[in-house]
A and B are shown apart, each in its own frame.
Chain A
Amino acid sequence: MFYDLSNFLGSLHPLVVHLPIGFVLLTMIFEFSANSKNTIQNRMISLGWLFTFISSLIASLFGWFLGDNGYYFESQIDIHRWSGILFVVICFLVWVYKSSNLPPNTFLSRFRNVIVITLLTVTGHYGGSMTHGEDYLTENLPEIIKEKLGDDYEEISTISSRSIDSLFVYEDLIHPFLEDKCMVCHNDENTSGGLNMTVFELLVKGGENETGITKRNAYKSSIFNRVVMSQRNEKFMPPTGIPLSFDQTKILEWWIEEGAKLEQPITSFREDAKIQKLLLHLYEVDIREKPFLETLVLEDLSENDLIYLENENFEFRFLSNKNTVLDLKFIGEDITKENLKSLDKIKEHVVWLSIIDSNLSDDEMAYLPNLKNLTRLKIQKNFISNKGVPYLEGLDNLSELNLYGTRITDASFEVFSKMKGLKKVFLWKTQVTKKGVAQFAAQYPNIEVMVGY
């Protein structure tokens, strides 16, 4: 009974608080313009302070009830609560002073006014922040002024600058927003509802009444259930402040449905197009599998390197908007060792390479194994035989190899089978046999062999 009544009175607090504010301001204006010898005026003023005192006493009593229901952040309540109480005390003292017939003291009353106004502002501001949110004052400012103030209320996520392979769903995505929105009330000291969310195991366990997380069942997990129920429901979490965003609840749901593992890496969401979009949108994290090219981190090539390449009869083209990865094409008639040696300087930068119909010999192939990042190699129509092919064995990233119009035979299949990244090999117009191809295809179905129509 008392609990219900106090709850009701507590909810009247935001209404009642405006009364003492009005009284105190009016009284101070009177006092300012009053003639100190006029007794009637003096009585009015001391009456004003009395009203202020009484109304603020009621307001703070109601406020105490409201603060007691546990739905506000202790840290915010503290300042609001004690500055409010100080205000009540000061009003009382002023009233006592005014109603005794002590002589007025201008200095004292000025000093007192400053303190009263300061307390009023502080109390009012913290009260306002609790009901309307932290930035209730600035949020509707014209944009220009906001910019001048420095718009620092926008949370900047730092995870977008990290390598996606090092990110974990709970630690990097979920924990930060739970910390932000829930842990003020659910921590080691303040375990509202018996729930401590700062320790992962306790978070999973839950509070006094409900299970925190039921693996693979979001709606049986109070952590999730409480944030997606109707906001009018008194169990809705967080009880005050800004609720979780749609995206945040989605991530929470996905993670729980995936088994709520502490060590779940972000990249395990790769298959899910929806969550990919969401992460991109929310954190600017792109978890899509990157083409090999984009994963390469290389130094920019200098103008000199490129001029040098051109002098060695290589035509180049960048394969991204950075001056790093190269598509190289030999445009001379007859390639030499010197031409090939020039590749050494940029060996990591060459990703595609064409040396077509340029008299590339088996021996000259010896320069190719250095080009570790090659993914596409076109060396068709050259005098290459089985002797040259083994040089390619260590090119783990090579996925496309064009050897059509060379003199290789079935013996080279052995080398192809050892090339880790190989997906396609072009062997039209070589000396490989139908039987050899069929055997290889049966053994290595993931490598496509093209021998012509």
Chain B
Amino acid sequence: MNCNHDHSDKNYSRRDFLTKTSLGLGALSLGSLMSPTDAYGSSNFLNLLDSNKQKLPHFAPKAKRVIYLFQSGAPSQLDLFDYKPKLNEMFGQEVPKSIIGEQRLTGMSAGQNSFPMAGSLFNFKQHGNSGAWMSDLMPHTAKIVDELCFIKSMHTDAINHDPAMTLIQTGSQLPGRPSIGSWLSYGLGSDNKNLPEFVVLITKGETGQPLYSKLWGNGFLPSEHQGVQFRAGKDAVLYLENPPGVSANVREEQLKYLNKLQQIQHADIGDPEILARMSQYEMAFRMQTSVPEVMDLSDEPEYIFDLYGKDSKTPGTFAANCLMARKLAEKDVKFIQLYHQGWDMHSTLPKSIRNKSREVDQATAGLIKDLKQRGLLEDTLVVWGGEFGRTNYSQGLLKPDDYGRDHHPRCFTIFMAGAGIKKGITLGATDEFGYNITERPVHVHDFQATLMHLLGIDHEKLTFKFQGRRYRLTDVSGNVVNEILS
């Protein structure tokens, strides 16, 4: 982005000059962003990169970190959380015309002659003191509903996986925007000198909708704010190890000289990306010891593995990643993003969802309990959910014991727990057919605004100017969902 080679005698590239002097409004927006720290840095755009110091929050935060258990592919809310006995009563009948109206369907089921309603095959019960409805697919989670806050009236703009995931993770359906974790890293800086602020853990060996790194990308923010993927296995972070034959001492020496050279370069042309690069080198060096330490689960006692379920002993499973997430939370990593793929059940849903739920149920509940007993749930926000919902009618042939469900952006359920969130409540509702929202719609941007709010950020104020306009996570909308704040 910053091409300075033909301006080697100048301190700034043309673009940098324009964005950083008073000519560029970007300078103003950054200035306002960083005013609290003006006292601590000689230069504003150095401050931008110096994420050790506090630039925000706009107000006192409730949460210090987030663990986002993303269920990629869109879990069926109708089989897990959103109980609709009407669908069982009218099993096999057509969805009333008045319910679907003129709404768009995906190309996968729009051509169907018939839209038979498919009631869930799973038993629903009310749980806990709060009486939250859940099916018997997630028995462990059902036991801790009194810690959870369900939002049954989530809705999104996109009807296909990629745009919908990009929307919920970056605030826009179009690729190229920074993801939630990057915004937080950029806005709040680091609480931990040895680990990145934003770590990504993906369940190993799952198939389904692909996960692209744009979902944890930094977009136009400085590159040190991108999510760093920790992988199961011996190379947790790719290319972190020293090349064969290079000892740690040599490496340190090398970096010292490299740093000097880059200092000179920076003094010469003042490109902030140089600082970003430098801080990443240093971070990488520190991570050579900190990452293996945090990835090592051998210290965990047996009863902790029991809490997360037996899968947690197998590296790379969702359960092991949940356990890892707790360790990262203890180390004050700010945004821990898990992905679990394979919820996209267009056919044979009853069979697939049984397995999928089993993979996540105990670990999800285990994580929340473990955070709670350590006191971490007081300042950690946990989010569980996918990118959209699934239809109330069967995609393909409806059989008494089998159905599929297509994409449904008009309503879905997510749940949250932890810092700043009311416990044991359910917000919003859908109609008796589970198709449209009847109460308190919550848009993806509202959810994002609320998440930012919990971390002490006014989502309208955390902006970054790029290509002539100011961008923010919630684009041009989003309202904090005050009803769920404790």
| B-binding residues in A (CB < 8 A) | 291, 293-294, 303, 306, 315-323, 325, 327, 329, 331, 376, 378, 380, 400, 402, 404, 424, 426, 428, 450-453
Give the residues in chain B near A320, CB-CB below 8 Å.
Answer: 57, 59-60, 456
* Residue in chain B with minimal CB distance to A291: B60
Q: In the bound complex, what is the Cα–Cα distance between A451 and B369 (angstroms)?
A: 11
Q: In the bound complex, what is the Cα–Cα distance between A294 and B57 (angstroms)?
A: 13
Which of A294, A402, A404, A450 contacts B60 (CB under 8 A)? Answer: A294
Q: In the bound complex, what is the Cα–Cα distance between A291 and B456 (angstroms)?
A: 13
Q: In the bound complex, what is the Cα–Cα distance between A316 and B193 (angstroms)?
A: 12
- B57-74: which have CB < 8 Å to A? 57-61, 64
Which of B57, B58, B369, B373 contacts A404 (CB under 8 A)? Answer: B373
Give the residues in chain A near B64, CB-CB below 8 Å.
Answer: 327
Interface centre among A316, A402, A424, A452 (most CB of B within 10 A): A452
Q: In the bound complex, what is the Cα–Cα distance between A320 and B372 (angstroms)?
A: 26
Give the residues in chain A near B40, CB-CB below 8 Å.
Answer: 303, 306
A-B CB proximity, top 10 nearest: A452-B373, A426-B375, A402-B375, A318-B54, A293-B60, A428-B373, A453-B369, A319-B60, A317-B54, A321-B36
Q: In the bound complex, what is the Cα–Cα distance between A294 and B369 (angstroms)?
A: 31
A450 touches B332 (CB 8 A): no
Report A296 CB to chain B, min CB distance, Å: 10
A323 touches B369 (CB 8 A): no
Give the residues in chain B near A451, CB-CB below 8 Å.
Answer: 373
Report B194 CB to chain A, min CB distance, Å: 10
Task: List 11 additional A-B contacts (Cβ < 8 Å) besides A319-B57, A453-B307.
Answer: A294-B59, A294-B60, A316-B54, A317-B54, A318-B54, A325-B60, A376-B379, A404-B373, A450-B375, A451-B373, A453-B372
Report A324 CB to chain B, min CB distance, Å: 10
Known A-B contacts A303-B40, A378-B375, A404-B374; the reply to A321 vs B59 at CB < 8 A is yes
Interface centre among B58, B60, B372, B373 (most CB of A within 10 A): B60
- B11-63: which have CB < 8 Å to A? 36, 39-40, 54, 56-61
Give the residues in chain B near A306, CB-CB below 8 Å.
Answer: 40
Give the residues in chain B near A294, CB-CB below 8 Å.
Answer: 59-60
Q: In the bound complex, what is the Cα–Cα distance between A371 and B333 (angstroms)?
A: 27
Report B180 CB to chain A, min CB distance, Å: 19
B373 touches A323 (CB 8 A): no
Give the residues in chain B near A424, CB-CB below 8 Å.
Answer: 375, 378
Report B50 CB to chain A, min CB distance, Å: 13
B36 touches A428 (CB 8 A): no
Give the residues in chain B near A450, CB-CB below 8 Å.
Answer: 372-373, 375
Which of B39, B332, B375 contacts A380 (CB under 8 A)? Answer: B375
Beta-carbon contacts of B287-311 to A below 8 Å, as 1s and 0s? 0000000000000000000010000
B54 touches A404 (CB 8 A): no
Give the residues in chain A near B60, CB-CB below 8 Å.
Answer: 291, 293-294, 319-320, 325
Q: Does B82 count as interface, using CB distance less than 8 angstroms?
A: no
Q: In the bound complex, what is the Cα–Cα distance between A404 and B61 (angstroms)?
A: 24
Give the residues in chain A near B61, CB-CB below 8 Å.
Answer: 319
* Residue in chain A with minimal CB distance to B458: A321
Known A-B contacts A303-B40, A306-B40, A450-B372; the reply to A321 vs B378 at CB < 8 A is no
Which of A319, A321, A322, A329 contacts B332 (CB under 8 A)? Answer: A329
Report B242 CB to chain A, min CB distance, Å: 26
Q: In the bound complex, what is the Cα–Cα distance between A138 and B54 (angstroms)?
A: 48
Q: Does B271 count as interface, using CB distance less than 8 angstroms?
A: no
Q: Is the interface of B mostly helix, strand, loop or mixed?
A: loop
Query: Once A and B bind, how many residue pairs between them come within 8 Å at the CB atom?
Result: 64
Give the residues in chain A near B58, CB-CB below 8 Å.
Answer: 321
Q: In the bound complex, what is the Cα–Cα distance between A402 and B38 (angstroms)?
A: 34
| A-binding residues in B (CB < 8 A) | 36, 39-40, 54, 56-61, 64, 191, 193, 307, 332, 369, 372-375, 378-379, 456
List 8 A-B residue pairs with CB atoms under 8 Å apart, sorted by A's residue number: A315-B193, A319-B60, A331-B193, A402-B375, A424-B375, A424-B378, A450-B372, A453-B307
B374 touches A380 (CB 8 A): yes
* Residue in chain A with minimal CB distance to B38: A323
Interface centre among B40, B191, B193, B378 (most CB of A within 10 A): B378
Q: In the bound complex, what is the Cα–Cα distance between A374 and B59 (angstroms)?
A: 18
* Residue in chain A with minimal CB distance to B37: A323
Report A259 CB to chain B, min CB distance, Å: 29
Known A-B contacts A317-B191, A453-B307; the reply to A428 vs B378 at CB < 8 A is no
* Residue in chain A with minimal CB distance to B40: A303
Give the residues in chain A near B59, CB-CB below 8 Å.
Answer: 294, 320-321
Q: In the bound complex, what is the Cα–Cα distance between A453 and B307 (angstroms)?
A: 9
A321 touches B374 (CB 8 A): no
Q: In the bound complex, what is the Cα–Cα distance between A107 and B199 (angstroms)?
A: 93
Report B443 CB to chain A, min CB distance, Å: 22
Known A-B contacts A293-B60, A321-B59, A322-B36; the reply to A400 vs B54 at CB < 8 A is no
Give the residues in chain A near B307, CB-CB below 8 Å.
Answer: 453
* Residue in chain A with minimal CB distance to B194: A331
Known A-B contacts A317-B54, A318-B54, A320-B57; the reply to A404 vs B39 at CB < 8 A is no
Give the residues in chain B near A404, CB-CB below 8 Å.
Answer: 373-375
Report A389 CB to chain B, min CB distance, Å: 16
Which of A319, A325, A331, A400 contacts B378 (CB under 8 A)? Answer: A400
B56 touches A321 (CB 8 A): yes
A376 touches B378 (CB 8 A): yes
B57 touches A318 (CB 8 A): yes
Give the residues in chain B near A318, CB-CB below 8 Å.
Answer: 36, 54, 57
Report A338 CB to chain B, min CB distance, Å: 21
Report B175 CB to chain A, min CB distance, Å: 32
B191 touches A329 (CB 8 A): yes
Report B258 CB to chain A, min CB distance, Å: 25
Report B286 CB to chain A, min CB distance, Å: 13
Give the residues in chain A near B332, CB-CB below 8 Å.
Answer: 329
Report B212 CB to chain A, min CB distance, Å: 32
Q: In the bound complex, what is the Cα–Cα distance between A402 and B379 (angstroms)?
A: 12
* Residue in chain A with minimal CB distance to B307: A453
Report B147 CB to chain A, min CB distance, Å: 11
Give the residues in chain B near A428, CB-CB below 8 Å.
Answer: 373-374
Q: In the bound complex, what is the Cα–Cα distance between A428 and B332 (angstroms)?
A: 20
* Residue in chain B with minimal CB distance to A301: B39
Give the residues in chain A near B379, CB-CB below 8 Å.
Answer: 376
Report B296 CB to chain A, min CB distance, Å: 16
Interface centre among A291, A315, A318, A331 (most CB of B within 10 A): A318
Q: In the bound complex, what is the Cα–Cα distance between A402 and B376 (angstroms)?
A: 10
Report B331 CB to chain A, min CB distance, Å: 11
Known A-B contacts A320-B57, A329-B332; the reply to A303 vs B375 at CB < 8 A is no
Known A-B contacts A303-B40, A329-B191, A453-B369; the reply to A426 vs B57 at CB < 8 A is no
* Residue in chain A with minimal CB distance to B144: A453
Q: In the bound complex, what is the Cα–Cα distance between A331 and B58 (angstroms)?
A: 25
Q: In the bound complex, what is the Cα–Cα distance between A254 and B307 (angstroms)?
A: 53
Report A252 CB to chain B, min CB distance, Å: 28
Report B306 CB to chain A, min CB distance, Å: 10
Q: In the bound complex, what is the Cα–Cα distance between A404 and B375 (angstroms)?
A: 8
A323 touches B374 (CB 8 A): no
Q: In the bound complex, what is the Cα–Cα distance between A424 and B377 (angstroms)?
A: 12
Report A446 CB to chain B, min CB distance, Å: 15
Give the residues in chain B near A317, CB-CB below 8 Å.
Answer: 54, 191
Give the residues in chain A near B39, CB-CB below 8 Å.
Answer: 303, 323
Report B298 CB to chain A, min CB distance, Å: 18
Q: In the bound complex, what is the Cα–Cα distance between A380 and B373 (angstroms)?
A: 11
Q: In the bound complex, what is the Cα–Cα distance between A424 and B419 (angstroms)?
A: 13
Give the residues in chain B near A315, CB-CB below 8 Å.
Answer: 191, 193
Which of B54, B191, B373 contacts A453 (CB under 8 A)? Answer: B373
Give the residues in chain A near B56, CB-CB below 8 Å.
Answer: 321
Report B456 CB to chain A, min CB distance, Å: 8
Q: In the bound complex, what is the Cα–Cα distance between A402 and B56 (angstroms)?
A: 26
* Residue in chain A with minimal CB distance to B56: A321
